[in-house]
Amino acid sequence: MILNATKLEQFHRDGFIIIDNFLDPAFAQSAADRFAPLFRGEFPTGLYPDEWNWREGRDPDNLTRQICNGWKSDPTIAAVTLSATIGQLCAQLGGWPGARIGQDNVLWKPPGAAALGFHQDDSYCKWITPPNYITCWIGLDATSAKGGTLEYVPGSHKWGDFPPIRQFHAPDDYHEALKMAAAEVGQVPEFVKVEVPAGGCAFHAGGTWHGSGANNSTQPRRSIVAHCISSDAKFHPTNVSYIYNRYKRHNSLNMDEDFFPVLWAEDGHRTAWLDPVGNEKKIFASKA
């Protein structure tokens, strides 16, 4: 799967691209069916994810539900976020020799759930070098503007780097950090809302400002997100992630493929324990 010149030009101009038909719709439904069990704590591998931000019976129903590194807990999620297809496309967009998974997200925004604040993904990966993500966001349900879909600000990846935002989940104004960043660089934000059928996706640069409003529809908005990093990425020598530096080896900056597997590389390398590339034929629907 290779992106054509038009898609590449659009990505570098706008900081994102949208693909209507990416994940096979039947597989998208299979992945969506895993969300309720996962957030009840039913993990087929027996492993907890690295972050589990919403739990049934503990947290308010009006919050977006998030799990980080669901690939460690559920093989269906892993089939998507550890795919060679996503790795190859992220490497192509990032100009990298290959791509690793840095982190994945399992996101569930039920009807009535609040917004997620506008932010840049690169604000949250300063613990690696180079500190850059290329992100693949996949909608498992048909998305709509009313349903709190993903929103982008075209060209905002050229504004420079900004710090993590004050409030990510359920902010009073989900544009707050975006407004301050735009004012600082003298820009007036424009917005593109990602409206795709189930299985549609978007890729964006780590510096692209994005967020999502409240779900004011009667349908859930479930999505899987793969944040990829360069296959050459290493741990930063001084910046520390309180979660992900637990996977750093003593006296080494190298990233262990057991925890940050290489999804695809131009030299043919793919982490040995990952599923064979041929298994992806039933997962993906488009040639992009």
Rounded-to-integer distance, Cα 9 and Cα 13, Å: 6
Helix, coil or strand: residue 247: helix
- pLDDT block averages, 10 residues each, the chain of length 288: 90 97 96 97 97 90 94 98 97 98 98 97 97 98 97 98 94 97 98 98 98 97 98 98 97 98 98 90 76
Instruction: Write the CB contacts of 234 (distance below 8 Å, at least 6 apart in sequence).
Output: 128, 129, 253, 254, 255
Superfamily of domain 8-278, CATH level 4 = q2cbj1_9rhob like domain (2.60.120.620)
Question: Residue 57: what pLDDT?
Answer: 86
185 secondary structure, DSSP code: H
Q: Look up the pTM and report it.
A: 0.96
Give the neighbor-by-neighbor strand order of the sheet with 192-193.
116-119, 210-212, 150-152, 192-193
pLDDT number for residue 25: 95
Structure confidence at residue 286 (pLDDT):
59
Cβ-contact 127, 260 below 8 angstroms:
no
Whether the CB-CB separation of 160 and 101 falls below 8 Å is answered with: no
Q: How far apart are CA 24 and CA 194, in angstroms?
A: 18
| pLDDT value at residue 287 | 55
- d(CA 245, CA 95) in angstroms, rounded, equals 25
Residue 288 has a pLDDT of 55
